[in-house]
Amino acid sequence: MDPTISATNFFTALQRVDGWESLPPTIAAHRVQGNTDPYHYEQFYADAATVVGTLAGKGVTVCQSGYLVFPLGPGYQMTSNYGPRGFVTEGASLWHAADDLQHYPNPCHDPVFAITDGTVTLLEGYQLSIKSPDGYTVSYLHMYLNEVLVKVGDQVTAGQQVGATGSNGPSTGCHLHLAISVAGNTNPAIAELPRSESIGGPAGFVDPEQFYEAFGLTLCASDSCRRTY
């Protein structure tokens, strides 16, 4: 009945769960304590996000209809960042409206996780797009279609594996191209981010790193991510 002792015991046990950082919170909790219903805690996500956002001093505007996770397991590299860039390969854009992530030296067939809840709206060529309940769309590029685990119309949850990294389309090797389109966005915190067209890029995108910062997270943290561009 002591919150401090209970929380300490929980987080101590959580650290022994392999890959807990990329699990949906309700599944991570289930693996610690063995709930009858593994999805019991989903009903509390919105309230938890509000509490965490408020305690972080950023107010509830940082919260969305769900929560945010990272697209790859820990220890990835960022191989290309958001913004203008030189020639990379035939067919690739010279203005990169995304961040490229991979796990070197084995970047292929690496699990890709949905970073937020949403609905699959596009699966075509080498692009998978998932629209958040907050209106913005997250796109995951270069996966091979036979390794994509969802289809158009599916409801996905943050942390759910949706496919695996590949080198489909104009690409220099297996990696994940992560892009955030804010067309239709209703989240006030995301609406405040600089849009790509304001700095010479294609219309409608925001920097994924700034997007994560709006939720109090760091996409390429120095202790777990290495920049190689």
Q: What is the mean pLDDT of the chain?
A: 89
Which amino acid type is present at position 216?
G
pLDDT greater than 60 at residue 192: yes
Same structural domain, 24 and 131: no
pLDDT of residue 197: 96
pTM of the model: 0.72
Evaluate whether residue 67 is within a structural domain: no
pLDDT at 75 > cutoff 80: yes
Q: Which of 16-30, 47-61, 139-153, 165-179 has the lowest mean pLDDT?
A: 47-61
pLDDT computed for residue 210 by the predictor = 96
- Residues 192 and 108 reside in one and the same domain: yes
Question: What's the average model confidence in pLDDT over 178-201?
Answer: 95
Residue 44 Cα distances to 49, 79, 215, angstroms = 9, 36, 18
CATH of the domain at 123: 2.70.70.10
Q: Would the pLDDT of 59 be above 60? A: no
Length in residues, the chain: 229
pLDDT reported for residue 154? 95
Please check whether residue 70 lies inside any domain of the structure.
Answer: no
Helix, strand, or coil (residue 99): strand
The confidence band for 204, taking pLDDT boundaries of 50, 70 and 90, is: very high
Q: Which domain holds residue 32?
A: 3-62
Q: Is residue 68 part of a domain?
A: no
pLDDT confidence of residue 96: 96
Q: Are residues 194 and 167 in the same domain?
A: yes
- pLDDT tens-digit map of 92-132: 889 999 999 999 898 999 999 999 999 999 999 999 999 99
Total number of domains constituting the chain: 2
pLDDT at residue 220 tops 80: yes
Query: Do 152 and 140 form a contact (C-beta atoms < 8 A)?
Result: no
Burial class for 182, CB neighbours closer than 10 Å (0-12, 13-18, 19+)? buried
Positive or negative: CA dihedral 51, 55, 61, 64 = negative
DSSP 157-204: -TT-EEEE-B--SS-SSSBEEEEEE-TT---HHHHTSPPGGGGTS-TT
Q: Which residue has the tokens 């955030």?
A: 180
pLDDT at 201 over 70: yes
Alpha helices in the chain (DSSP H): 3-14, 25-33, 45-55, 188-191, 208-214
pLDDT exceeds cutoff 80 at 49: no
pLDDT at 1 over 90: no
In a domain, 72, yes or no: no
Grade residue 14 by pLDDT with cuts at 50, 70 and 90: very high
| Residues 176 and 156 sit within 8 Å (Cβ to Cβ) | no
User: CA-CA distance, 84 to 79, in Å (whole number)?
Assistant: 14
Distance CA 142, CA 49 (A): 31
pLDDT band at 52 (very low <50, low <70, confident <90, very high): low
